[in-house]
Amino acid sequence: MHYLTIEQRESLQAALNARAQVLRETIARMLGSQAGEARALADHREETDDDAVIDLESSLETDALQRNSLELREAEKALHRIHTPEFGECADCGGDIPFTRLQANPLSTRCVACETAFERTHGQQGRHSL
């Protein structure tokens, strides 16, 4: 088992903290803007006269909020485990996740081979199609 250096872990921790902060700000902004949008919704309904368009817009905003919330939870989980021996270890095979992969995506919990296999079998779950 290869262990990440302290410098590598600190670099990943800084990236995770920065991403978590951006997500918190984005979520707060989205939640704050929803209050004002609720008032504007009645006006928007009159302008478009198309409930399907309004429903689609609301659905897209809700999906974005859910995605950001999920990513924030994953970032917080990664921050909790970053200084444990399991951080950087593939959740499926137990092998090392290369530092370059973690630099690209510090939320990674699988090595490239296991992630590829996972996406082949689970790739369409949770995805919406038109």
Contact 65, 27 (CB under 8 A): yes
β partners of residue 54: none
In Å, how far from its chain's centre is CA 126? Answer: 14
pTM: 0.73
Q: Do 79 and 72 meet the contact criterion of CB atoms below 8 Å apart?
A: no
Q: Are 90 and 98 in contact (CB under 8 A)?
A: no
Walk along the chain (130 residues) and give the pLDDT tens digit of each residue: 568 999 999 999 999 999 999 999 999 998 887 655 555 555 555 565 556 555 556 666 888 899 999 999 999 999 999 989 889 999 999 999 999 999 999 999 999 999 999 999 987 555 444 4
